[in-house]
Amino acid sequence: MRVLDKETPDLMPLPKGTNPLGIPATPSSVCPADAPVKSFNVVALDRPMKLNPKAPDAIEVDFERKIEMTMPEGKIFALEEEATTVASGATPHPLTLRVNLGDCIKVNLKNKMKASRASFFAPGLAFDPKDSQGLNVGNNGGEQTVAPGESRAYTYYAHPSNKETTSLVWDGGNIVVNPRNGLYGAIIVGPRGSQYRDPVTGADISQKNAWRADVIVDASLPENVGKRNYRDVALFFQDEDNIIGTAFMPYVQNVAGLTSVNYRAEPYKFREEQGCSLGKIFQPCVVDKPEDPATPLIEAHAGDAIRIHVIGANSEQNGMFGIEGHEWPIEPYMPGADMISVVEYAGSETLDVFVRGGAGGPYRQVGDFVWSNQRLPYTQSGQWGYLRVLPAGDTRIQPLGVAGMGAKQAEAQPDVKAIPTAMK
C-alpha cells in the first residue's frame, strides 16, 4: 500500500469535497513535541533455549513425529542492561516493554547476533515507514535492518487513537527464520500516566522487561476516572505444525515441532513419564515434592482486575485461548457485549482479555484454574498453565491497592470515556 505525499500524474485526486483539506503536510516527527519520551536500549542475541529444563530434548508423539523441546538456534530480544543475565541461566521470557498512552517510544537496537541481520518491527504503534518500520519495503529508501555489531534507532508513538493496545514486535532482518527461533516480543500500552510494579517485590519496573506487571493507574487524570489498578500479563503462543487438522493421511492426532508459551512447554507425555495419570494431569506429579508447570504462572488475589494479552507470536495455525471458570466480553469497550470463555486467535494477532469480575470470577473463588490453548492437541503438547487465585492478603504477591495509590482524584468532570466493562 503506497501512501503519497503529493499529487502524481498517474493517480487522479478524489472528487472535490471528499478531502477538503487536501494532502496533509508530512510532520517532522511521528511524535508530538510535548509527548513524554520513553527510551529503551534493546539487543538482539543468539540464545539457545530449552522449553522445559527437566524434559528430554524431543518427545515422540505419532508416526515418528516429535515435539521439539529445544531451540538450539534460539534468538531473543532483551534490554541491554540484562543481556549478560539472560544469556545464560534460567530461560528468559520474550521481551515485553510497557509504555503509556501518548508516549513517544525510542528504541535503540544493537545487533549482537553472530550471523544474522536484525531489526525492530512494531506494527501496532504509529511510526514513519521511511524511518522506523523495521522492514525494507517497496520504494522506501534507506536500510532499516542492522548487521551484526551495528546499532540503529527506531521511533514509535502510542497514538491515543489506537487506544490501550498491544503491538507484537518481530524481527525483520530475517522475517522467515528469526521469529520462528524466538526473536519476537511486544510493546504493551497502558493508561496514560500509569506506573508499573513487580507483583512480588513491589519494585518499579516501568523501564524494565516484564511479562507480568501490576498497573497502577493515575486516577488524578480525568480520562482515567473509573479505571482500576490491574494485574497485567502477556502470553506469547508459538507453534509450527502445518499438518495437524488437515486432510493429510494417515490423520495425525498430536502436534509436533516447536510448541510453546513464553518459550516454555509442559507436554502431557512428559508429565505422564513423571508419574502423572491422565486423570490428574493438571496436578503435581510427585505428591511429596509438588512443582508448578514450567509455563507462566499467573497470580492474583481474589477479585483483582486482570488483563491478559494473548499474542500469536509465531503460529502456523489458529489457537483457542480459554481460562476455566472465567469469562470476558467479546468486545471489551461495548456495553452489553456477549460474554465468552474461549476466543480464537491467529498467528501475529494480539487479543486483550479483560476478565469479568476479576480473579476468581464474580464469586471471587480461590484456587488454581487452568488457562490453555483449548485446541486439545495443543494443550496436550504443553500450551497450558495455572491462573492461581490467592485469598485477599496472601503475601506471596503485593496487594493491588486502589487506583492511583493515594493520588489526588480528578476534580474536573471528564468527558465520557470508553472503559472495558470488565475493568470497571
- Is residue 413 a part of any domain in this protein? no
On whether residue 324 sits in a domain, the answer given is yes
Residue 364 falls inside a structural domain: yes
* Total domains, the chain: 2
Q: Are residues 247 and 216 in the same domain?
A: no
Whole-number pLDDT of residue 78 = 97
Confidence check: pLDDT of 137 > 90: yes
Same domain, 173 and 301: no
Do 271 and 149 sit in the same domain of this protein?
Answer: no
Q: Is 177 inside a domain boundary?
A: yes
Identify the pLDDT of residue 27: 86
Cα 102-172-185 angle, rounded to 5 deg = 55
Residues 255 and 380 in one domain: yes
pLDDT, one tens digit per residue, over 307-319 is 999 999 999 999 9
Q: Are residues 215 and 246 in the same domain?
A: no
Q: Per DSSP, which regions of 81-172 are E strands?
A: 95-100, 104-111, 151-157, 166-170
State the average pLDDT for the chain.
92
For the segment 369-388, the average pLDDT, to the nearest whole number, is: 97
Q: Determine the Cα–Cα distance for residues 122 and 407; give it in Å rounded to an integer.
A: 33
For residue 119, what pLDDT is reported? 98
Where does 77-166 have alpha helices with state H?
A: 83-86
Residues 79 and 199 in one domain: yes
CATH number at residue 249: 2.60.40.420
Mean pLDDT of 189-211: 97
Which pLDDT tens digit goes with each residue over 55-70?
A: 999 999 988 899 999 9
Q: What pLDDT score does 68 carry? A: 96
What is the structure's pLDDT at 410? 37
What percent of the chain is modeled with pLDDT above 70?
95
- Does 308 share its domain with 255? yes
Q: Domain for residue 17, yes or no?
A: no
Task: Tell me: do 43 and 148 sit in the same domain.
Answer: yes
Read off the pLDDT of each residue in 162-172 and give the average, rounded to a whole number: 95
Q: Does the pLDDT value for residue 188 go beyond 60?
A: yes
How does pLDDT run across 285-333, given as a tens digit for each residue?
887 778 899 999 999 999 999 999 999 999 999 999 999 999 999 988 8
**Predicted pLDDT at 98:** 98
Does 368 have pLDDT greater than 60?
A: yes
Each residue's pLDDT tens digit, 215-258: 999 999 999 998 999 999 999 999 999 998 888 888 889 999 99
Q: With contact defined as beta carbons under 8 Å apart, do 412 and 222 qualify?
A: yes
Instruction: Tell me which residue range forms the domain holding 167.
Output: 37-220
Do residues 124 and 256 both lie within one domain? no
pLDDT at position 409 is: 37
Helix (H, G, I), strand (E, B) or coil at 77: strand
Inside any domain, residue 301 = yes
Do 96 and 287 contact (CB within 8 A), yes or no? no
Q: Is the pLDDT of residue 421 over 80?
A: no
Residue 424 has pLDDT above 80, yes or no: no
Q: How confident is the model at residue 259 (pLDDT cuts 50, 70, 90)?
A: very high
User: Is there a single domain that holds both residue 310 and residue 356?
Assistant: yes
Tell me if 412 is assigned to some domain. no
Q: What is the mean pLDDT of residues 389-407?
A: 79
Residues 212 and 251 in one domain: no
Beta-bridge partners for 70: 50
Is the model's pLDDT at 412 over the cut of 90?
no
- Please report, in angstroms and rounded to a whole number, the separation of the first and last CA atoms in the chain: 39
Say whether both 84 and 171 belong to one domain. yes
More confident residue, 210 or 87: 210
Specify the pLDDT at position 423.
58
Q: Mean pLDDT across the stretch 32-41?
A: 97
Which residues, in sequence order, are CB contacts of 156 under 8 Å at separation 6+? Answer: 30, 104, 105, 107, 122, 125, 126, 127, 132, 167, 187
**Each residue of 33-60: b (16+ CB within 10 Å) or e?**
eebeebebebbbbbbebbbbeebeeebe
Please check whether residue 353 is in contact with residue 383, taking contact to mean a CB–CB distance below 8 angstroms: no
E strand intervals along 173-305: 184-190, 195-197, 212-216, 230-239, 257-261, 298-301
pLDDT for residue 196: 98
- Residue 235: name the closest of 373, 333, 369, 341 by CA: 373
Least confident of 3-7, 106-110, 373-377: 3-7
Going from the C-alpha of 366 to that of each of 259, 300, 359, 392, the distances in angstroms are: 30, 10, 8, 9
Judged against a pLDDT cut of 90, whether residue 88 lies above it is answered with no
Taking 3-state DSSP, the helix, strand and coil percentages for the chain, each rounded to the nearest 5, stand at 10, 30, 60
Residue 216 inside a domain? The answer is yes
